Amino acid sequence: MALIVQKYGGTSVGSIEKVRAVAERVIKYHQEGNQVVVVLSAMAGQTDFLIQLARKMTDDPDPRELDVLMSTGEQVSVALFAMAAKAKGYDARSFLGFQVAIHTSNLHGKARIHNIETDRLTKELEQGRIVAVAGFQGLDDQGHITTLGRGGSDTTAVALAAALRADVCEIFTDVEGVYTADPNICPKARKLDFISYEEMLEIASQGAKVLEIRSVEFAMKYNVPIHVRSTFTDERGTMVIAETKDMEKVLVSGLAHNKNEARVTIKKVPDRPGIASQIFEPVFQSGIVVDMIVQNTSEDGFTDLTFTVPKSDFYKTMKLVGKVAEKIGAERVLGDEDIAKVSIIGVGMRSHAGVAQKMFAALAKENINIIMISTSEIKVSCIIEEKYTELAVRVLHEAFGLGDEK
Amino acid sequence: MALIVQKYGGTSVGSIEKVRAVAERVIKYHQEGNQVVVVLSAMAGQTDFLIQLARKMTDDPDPRELDVLMSTGEQVSVALFAMAAKAKGYDARSFLGFQVAIHTSNLHGKARIHNIETDRLTKELEQGRIVAVAGFQGLDDQGHITTLGRGGSDTTAVALAAALRADVCEIFTDVEGVYTADPNICPKARKLDFISYEEMLEIASQGAKVLEIRSVEFAMKYNVPIHVRSTFTDERGTMVIAETKDMEKVLVSGLAHNKNEARVTIKKVPDRPGIASQIFEPVFQSGIVVDMIVQNTSEDGFTDLTFTVPKSDFYKTMKLVGKVAEKIGAERVLGDEDIAKVSIIGVGMRSHAGVAQKMFAALAKENINIIMISTSEIKVSCIIEEKYTELAVRVLHEAFGLGDEK
């Protein structure tokens, strides 16, 4: 007998029939003698519907009240799930954030889980019940409803698994696991059996949408094994676990690509202390998330500074940076939206030299020009022209032998 | 400065624009220096939508989970209301049943309010905030979400007004107040300025849908003045208050009619002790609400027993009673769906004789046959043929001079 936390995303509970199918799947686990805690997202489309409702009311909805509104989505899902399970003769109960209770910070829309009480859920499980917990929501120390932000149900599931000391946290989604690359553009992409938390973090932050980043951080911190798998098959998916010796033998575990960034370059920036801080201050102040930053070595007291931002913030950034550039006496500001980022990721890089060189060579062979480079301990990212994205992914997949069974 | 509880029903918050209009109205009261607690229903149509969602899942949804589902309706309303008020620059906060907290019994779908904590709301009001409370919902002593049943938001509002010792509980609705009769069928119907709790109770239970019965009982118990008025005008409506000496001078305050009942007659019932109990047991067991019961004086050891039930339960009742009739040796069972009940109501009846006689005479003058009669201290009800309903209402309205200004 195991204690399992299962999370089903919005597409998995996108209709009455799908909620019923989820209930059937959960009941199967329950019948096999497991204790099951189910975390559900809002039904697909519901979250967008609620946001639109709020936007119709006002351009800038109050964050506290937006959380009160948004949290109804998961409430509907868990109620319907528990109804479905009960209709099939199994004892099930839904629990909302306040009922568990899931205590969070007070940052509405982006709250962080502080701690989770387990007494109530443990008692329910001991009484043989299937427990359904509304994902994405919690309660701050003033008793206000909070939400954890997009993808927050993943975090709810992992945090619950950690708090309950569950044997595994299964994330059911519409893909079959974590792949060496996006199967839509790389037909040879292979499903990984295992991946380390750190690699998963890099893959998630490089644009793959399989798991929400914070949920992986949480799992890593509390060493919760995550099983990413498909709602629509019984196949095993990918286990996200702590790094093992075996993993280090593999040079590169996977690829990621991201077309949602744009590049901003400031030419001939006077190179003096504090200049970078001066440039980025208005950008950070506006809440724009800067990804890669590259500054070349200074020549003649001037340097070029390049960075990337989400495409949706591109025009705003150009405007802000244009003003600063004038003030500090830089030559000019260039922008480019037609870029993409391709990344190779693997804990094996730590113990292997020449991985980056192999990447550059593979891209060069296809005449793909590299615009920017950024490296971390277990990742190399290159910014290239957007039109080469798919080609670059396939070339790199081949070059690192990712399609071969290990 | 007054402390006012205002309740807005589903049609009053039926769209984003209407919620915004409610916010503007509430802000006006707030600006005038009043402390305002707003109780909202679910947006019109939302409750039915949620019920249908549950019915699609299962014919017989689990009551606990149905309450979890249903309570999202009011949650959406209060969140949108508070957003609207905040967007206009006023400090407002929404509160759900668990946040207030509103403690109820554990009868899901029909819970009764036990008590309401006032500390939190009082603090919020003292800080100058507009407080919006989700109607219809509460929390039982196990921490489960409960709902109070249809019209429960009225009860939430009155109970809050009682707990907070509010100066008045204003019920905003789509009619302008309580009328001497239904204005749709009686053009001379007049809006009442005042009506007593007891009269209001009789009117509500005779089929008028202005106020939910339990909210009136609550108001009577705690002596909370209720002001029933229109969301769409600034006109004064009807004050529902404790009986005054003035009220007794009026013979009849108002009329009510109800076409939703059907009649069942059991002919030649052997008249022996315990027979009525034997007949009604299966009916009560099935949860069917019996309204009027009339038993004639026995002749030759046999009696006729007639009673009314909701039309929706008519066939079920006929079946149940058919069986019992056979068992006890009654002659036969007759049924009639084409009936209506007209009632005259007024605390003045207590001190005036001949009111019933005046009613019978007025109906007789128009050749309207009376099928059943039932009287209480402040009410006389007659069952007549359904086709005469409108005529009967107009005739009685005229006979008791209800259209005249008092």
User: Each residue of B110-143: pLDDT tens digit?
Assistant: 999 999 999 999 999 999 999 999 999 999 999 9
Tell me the HSE value of B237 on the side-chain side, using a 13 A CA sphere: 27
Banded model confidence at residue A207, pLDDT cuts 50, 70, 90: low
Q: How far is A314 from chain B (nearest CA, A)?
A: 28
Q: What are the chain B neighbours of A80 within 8 Å (beta carbons)?
A: 53-54, 57, 65, 69
In chain B, which stretches have pLDDT less than 50?
Answer: none
Tokens 């489309």 belong to A45
Banded model confidence at residue A323, pLDDT cuts 50, 70, 90: very high
Instruction: Please report, for residues B262, B296, B298, B300, the alpha-carbon distance to residue B276 in angstroms, rounded to integers and kept in the order given.
Output: 19, 12, 13, 17
pLDDT of residue B375: 84
| Residue of B60, B68, B83 lying closest to A62 (CB–CB) | B83
User: Each residue of A34-43: pLDDT tens digit?
Assistant: 999 999 999 9
User: Each residue of B208-252: pLDDT tens digit?
Assistant: 678 888 899 999 999 999 999 998 888 999 999 998 888 777 889
Residue of B nearest to A99 (CA): B143
ipTM value? 0.83
Peptide bond into B101 cis (omega under 30): yes
What would the mean pLDDT of A213-240 be, rounded to a whole number?
A: 93
Structure-token pair, residue B314: 């008519």
Banded model confidence at residue A405, pLDDT cuts 50, 70, 90: low
Helices (H), B88-212: 97-100, 119-126, 152-163, 197-205
| Residue of A61, A71, A83 lying closest to B62 (CB–CB) | A83
| Residue of A54, A72, A99 lying closest to B75 (CB–CB) | A72
Q: Where are the beta strands (DSSP E) in B289-358?
A: 293-295, 302-310, 332-336, 339-345
Q: Is there a contact between A87 and B58 if contact means CB atoms under 8 Å apart?
A: yes
Q: How far is A141 from chain B (nearest CA, A)?
A: 12
pLDDT of residue B245: 81
Q: Is there a contact between B65 and A82 if contact means CB atoms under 8 Å apart?
A: yes
Q: Alpha-carbon distance A22 to A85, whole Å?
A: 9
Lowest mean pLDDT among A34-48, A160-174, A237-251, B165-179: A237-251
A108-126 burial code (b ≥16 CB/10 A, e <16): bbebbbeebeeebbbebbe
Q: Alpha-carbon distance B320 to B30, whole Å?
A: 56
Q: Is there a contact between A60 and B143 if contact means CB atoms under 8 Å apart?
A: no
User: Each residue of B176-208: pLDDT tens digit?
Assistant: 999 999 888 899 999 999 999 999 998 877 666
pLDDT of residue A296: 76
Q: Alpha-carbon distance A93 to A91, whole Å?
A: 7
Residue of A nearest to B59 (CA): A87
Cβ contacts of residue A70 below 8 Å, gap of 6+?
A42, A47, A50, A51, A136, A137, A147
pLDDT of residue B405: 62
pLDDT of residue A232: 87
Mean pLDDT, chain B, integer: 92
Structure-token pair, residue A29: 């686990």
Q: Is the sign of the CA dihedral B378, B384, B390, B394 positive or negative?
A: negative
pLDDT of residue A96: 98
Q: Alpha-carbon distance A368 to A393, whole Å?
A: 11
pLDDT of residue B100: 97
| Interface mutation target, options A22, A24, A40, A57, chain B, most CBs of B under 10 Å | A57
Structural domains present in chain A = 3-174 (3.40.1160.10), 244-406 (3.30.2130.10)
Q: Alpha-carbon distance B372 to A272, whole Å?
A: 100
Q: Is there a contact between A65 and B79 if contact means CB atoms under 8 Å apart?
A: yes
Element holding B19 (H helix, E strand): helix B16-31
Q: How far is B11 from chain A (nearest CA, A)?
A: 17
Q: Is there a contact between B83 and A57 if contact means CB atoms under 8 Å apart?
A: yes
Q: Is there a contact between A86 and B54 if contact means CB atoms under 8 Å apart?
A: no
pLDDT of residue A127: 97
Cβ contacts of residue A202 below 8 Å, gap of 6+?
A256, A343, A345, A376, A378, A379
Q: Is there a contact between A83 and B53 if contact means CB atoms under 8 Å apart?
A: no
Residue A372 has pLDDT above 60, yes or no: yes
Q: How far is A158 from chain B (nearest CA, A)?
A: 24
- Whole-model pTM: value is 0.85
Q: Is there a contact between A69 and B80 if contact means CB atoms under 8 Å apart?
A: yes
Mean pLDDT, chain A, integer: 92
The contact set of B with A (CB < 8 A) is: 16, 19-20, 50, 53-54, 56-58, 60-62, 64-66, 68-69, 71-72, 75-76, 78-80, 82-84, 86-87, 93-94, 96, 98-99, 120, 143-145
With CA atoms as reference, report the closest residue to B42 among B128, B124, B156, B122: B156
Q: Alpha-carbon distance A259 to A256, whole Å?
A: 10
Q: Is there a contact between B68 and A98 if contact means CB atoms under 8 Å apart?
A: no
pLDDT of residue A226: 97
Q: Is there a contact between A54 and B83 if contact means CB atoms under 8 Å apart?
A: yes
Q: What is the DSSP letter of B259?
A: -
Banded model confidence at residue A251, pLDDT cuts 50, 70, 90: confident
The contact set of A with B (CB < 8 A) is: 16, 19-20, 50, 53-54, 56-58, 60-62, 64-66, 68-69, 71-72, 75-76, 78-80, 82-84, 86-87, 93-94, 96, 98-99, 120, 143, 145
Q: What are the chain A neighbours of B94 within 8 Å (beta carbons)?
A: 65, 68
